[in-house]
């Protein structure tokens, strides 16, 4: 009996050895292909994260200096039209007048469009000028362009093919976002999620996460503190709380839709009445000066101080409306920056004002509003949930996620970015392939107001 058992074991081991020998060539191919690709992207991602981290840190300090200088010297506001002329002039000087900004970076991921390295110093200088003279703008649009431009240059330097250069561009976008905000997880996912809603670019997961983490480490070493907030009175999940959060999330989704329409509406108005870039940007500068003298300086710049106040439960009830107007008037005129921090401002102030009416903490309502409006304007729910986790140290992340989910579904198919593609319906498992601005303009009229179509 023991002899038969031993014979069976010996036969089984022999068969196993034969299988291993037969599979060994395939295993060698796997090791050679997959691990070589992994090692290659690891090196590229570290390089991209390091370069973008250094430039991103410099940009962070420059914007902080510009903001502090403007607050110390309020008269700089009157130089906003002059700053606008400088911005128009330097873009024309380098033949970048048709630069699509963040839109062009998103398009490069999908269509392999050529990102010029020149865009990096141009967006750096023009965004600092916008903040220095009181334009209402964020900074993340510049961060995405800086990251995308630098990483595309790195890709060309090491002779990546067009498909790999797209991945490198996403890695650079992640690094730029992470260096500026200190939120590496949401930065990495944002680059993979924002371009084609409903389709995640998982081929970029290692490049995006590694470059994002490296940029965060580098910027931190260069004394850039990450963005974080304290939240008080976080809701405990229960049936009544869920009902309140669903209502708040739905209102934030509607507000996000309105914000996008305000931005696109200002764009249409400027182009209808001002045919030249320099007249448009001067008109926008004068409008911001007038609005500031009427409503005060709280709505100039990025407004991070007002966001902090909202998260402490202090807010002017109509602040979110004024920030939308200030931001639309600034960015649609041709000043540079971004819309994400203004969307934080709009969401935080709206949530702070509305939450007590629903029986929620004003501070927690501001947190829900902040990430929910961000989700509605960018159509990036996974990024928004991670952003809530990183910005608020994990406080109340489950109820935050509910607000984000509702906002995503009810914000419609508008978006801040013309080049963003919404691949799947928000209510059905249906492929739709709509533009982020198509619902507002219509397919034909949208082309008239694309950035690169401007005269």
- Locate 130 and state its tokens: 């916008």
pLDDT at 22 over 90: no
Bridge partners (DSSP) listed for residue 424: 431
Count of CA atoms in the C-beta half-sphere (13 A) of 172: 33
Whats the size of the chain, residue-wise? 455
pLDDT at 8 over 50: yes
Q: pLDDT by residue (tens digit) across 419-431?
A: 888 888 888 878 7
Q: Does the domain made of 239-453 have the CATH classification 1.10.3080.10?
A: yes
**Helix H or strand E segment including 422:** strand 421-424
**Of residues 60, 257, 330, 298, the one with CA closest to residue 176:** 60
377-392 burial string, b = 16+ CB within 10 Å, else e?
bbbbbbbbbbbbbbbb
48-221 folds as Clc chloride channel (1.10.3080)
Predicted structure pTM score: 0.89
Rounded CA-CA distance 303/71 in Å is 12
> Got the DSSP string for 118-144?
THHHHHHHHHHHHHHTT----SHHHHH
Local confidence band at 17 (pLDDT 50, 70, 90 cut-offs): low
Local confidence band at 451 (pLDDT 50, 70, 90 cut-offs): very low
> Which residue's structure tokens are 């130089």?
79
- Locate 266 and state its tokens: 């200002």
Local confidence band at 16 (pLDDT 50, 70, 90 cut-offs): low
- Locate 64 and state its tokens: 């902080």
8 Å CB contact between 434 and 417: no
Which residue spans of the chain are classified as CATH 1.10.3080.10?
A: 48-221, 239-453
CA-CA-CA-CA torsion sign (153, 158, 164, 167): negative
Q: pLDDT by residue (tens digit) across 72-116?
A: 999 999 999 999 999 999 999 988 877 767 777 877 777 767 788
List Cα–Cα distances, 267 to 87, 137, 341, 442, in angstroms: 18, 15, 19, 15
412 vs 211, which has greater pLDDT?
A: 211
**Of residues 223, 67, 81, 82, the one with CA closest to residue 138:** 67
- Locate 408 and state its tokens: 């995503």
Mean pLDDT of 25-50: 79
pLDDT at 198 over 90: no
Q: What is the pLDDT of residue 32?
A: 59
8 Å CB contact between 150 and 48: yes
Rounded CA-CA distance 347/378 in Å is 13
Q: pLDDT by residue (tens digit) across 287-329?
A: 999 999 999 999 999 999 999 999 999 899 999 999 999 999 9
Rounded CA-CA distance 398/404 in Å is 10
Q: What is the pLDDT of residue 157?
A: 86
Local structure of residue 196 (DSSP, 8 states): E
Q: pLDDT by residue (tens digit) across 109-140?
A: 777 677 888 889 999 999 999 999 999 998 88
Q: What is the pLDDT of residue 453?
A: 43
8 Å CB contact between 201 and 195: yes
* Through-space distance between the first and last CA atoms of the chain, rounded to whole angstroms: 92
The counts of H helices and E strands in the chain are: 19, 3
> Got the DSSP string for 88-121?
HHHHHHTT-TT--THHHHHHHHHH-----TTHHH
Q: pLDDT by residue (tens digit) across 268-297?
A: 999 999 988 999 999 999 999 999 999 999
- DSSP H helices in 296-361: 304-311, 319-331, 340-354
8 Å CB contact between 82 and 132: no
Q: What is the pLDDT of residue 142?
A: 86
pLDDT at 449 over 60: no
> Got the DSSP string for 260-302?
HHHHHHHHHHHHHH--SHHHHHHHHHHHHHHHHHHH-GGGSS-
Q: What is the pLDDT of residue 109?
A: 77
In the sheet where 421-424 sits, what is the strand order? 196-197, 421-424, 431-435
454 vs 4, which has greater pLDDT?
A: 4
- Locate 1 and state its tokens: 């009996």
Residues near 235 by Cβ (< 8 Å), separated by ≥ 6? 241, 244, 245, 360, 361, 364, 396, 399
Residue 4 phi, psi (nearest 5): -65, -40
Mean pLDDT of 157-185: 90
List Cα–Cα distances, 431 to 106, 413, 444, in angstroms: 20, 13, 20
Mean pLDDT of 439-453: 48
8 Å CB contact between 95 and 152: no
pLDDT at 259 over 50: yes
- DSSP H helices in 355-422: 362-378, 381-391, 397-410
Q: Are strands 421-424 and 431-435 parallel, antiparallel or unpaired?
A: antiparallel
Q: How many other C-beta atoms can be found within 10 angstroms of the C-beta atom of residue 431? A: 9
List Cα–Cα distances, 9 to 6, 16, 22, in angstroms: 5, 10, 20
Q: What is the pLDDT of residue 1?
A: 61
Percent of the chain at pLDDT > 90 equals 60
């Amino acid at each position: 009996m023991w002899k038969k058992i031993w014979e069976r074991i010996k036969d089984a081991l022999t068969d196993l050895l034969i299988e291993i020998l037969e599979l060994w060539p395939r295993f060698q191919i796997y090791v050679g292909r997959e691990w070589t690709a992994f090692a290659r992207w690891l090196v590229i991602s570290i390089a991209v994260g390091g370069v973008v981290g250094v430039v991103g840190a410099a940009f962070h300090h420059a914007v902080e200096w510009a903001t502090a200088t403007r607050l110390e010297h309020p008269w700089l506001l009157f130089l906003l039209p002059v700053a606008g002329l400088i911005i128009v002039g330097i873009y024309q000087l380098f033949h970048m007048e048709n630069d699509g900004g963040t839109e062009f970076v998103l398009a490069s991921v999908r269509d392999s469009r050529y990102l010029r390295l020149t865009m990096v110093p141009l967006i750096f200088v023009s965004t600092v000028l916008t903040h220095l003279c009181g334009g209402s703008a964020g900074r993340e649009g510049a961060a995405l362009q800086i990251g995308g431009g630098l990483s595309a240059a790195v890709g060309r330097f090491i002779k990546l093919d067009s498909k790999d250069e797209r991945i490198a561009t996403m890695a650079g976008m992640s690094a730029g976002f992470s260096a500026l905000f200190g939120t590496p997880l949401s930065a990495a996912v944002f680059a993979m999620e924002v371009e084609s809603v409903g389709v995640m670019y998982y081929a970029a997961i290692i490049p995006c996460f590694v470059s994002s983490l490296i940029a965060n480490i580098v910027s931190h070493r260069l004394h850039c503190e990450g963005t974080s907030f304290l939240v008080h009175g976080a809701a405990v999940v229960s049936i009544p709380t869920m009902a309140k959060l669903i209502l708040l999330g739905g209102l934030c989704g509607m507000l996000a839709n309105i914000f996008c329409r305000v931005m696109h509406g200002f764009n249409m108005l400027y182009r209808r009445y001002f045919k030249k870039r320099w007249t448009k940007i001067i008109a926008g500068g004068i409008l911001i000066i007038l609005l500031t003298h009427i409503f005060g300086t709280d709505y100039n710049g990025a407004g991070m101080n007002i966001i902090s106040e909202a998260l402490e439960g202090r807010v002017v009830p109509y602040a979110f409306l004024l920030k939308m107007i200030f931001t639309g008037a600034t960015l649609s005129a041709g000043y540079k920056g971004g819309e994400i921090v203004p969307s934080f401002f709009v969401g935080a102030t709206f949530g702070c004002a509305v939450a007590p009416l629903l029986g929620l903490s004003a501070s927690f309502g501001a947190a829900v509003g902040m990430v929910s409006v961000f989700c509605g304007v960018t159509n990036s729910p996974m990024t928004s949930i991670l952003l809530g986790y990183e910005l608020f140290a994990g406080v109340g992340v489950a109820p935050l996620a509910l607000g984000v989910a509702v906002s995503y579904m009810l914000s419609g198919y508008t978006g801040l970015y013309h080049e963003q593609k919404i691949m799947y319906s928000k209510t059905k498992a249906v492929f739709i392939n709509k533009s982020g601005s198509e619902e507002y303009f219509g397919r034909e009229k949208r082309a008239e107001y694309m950035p690169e179509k401007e005269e």
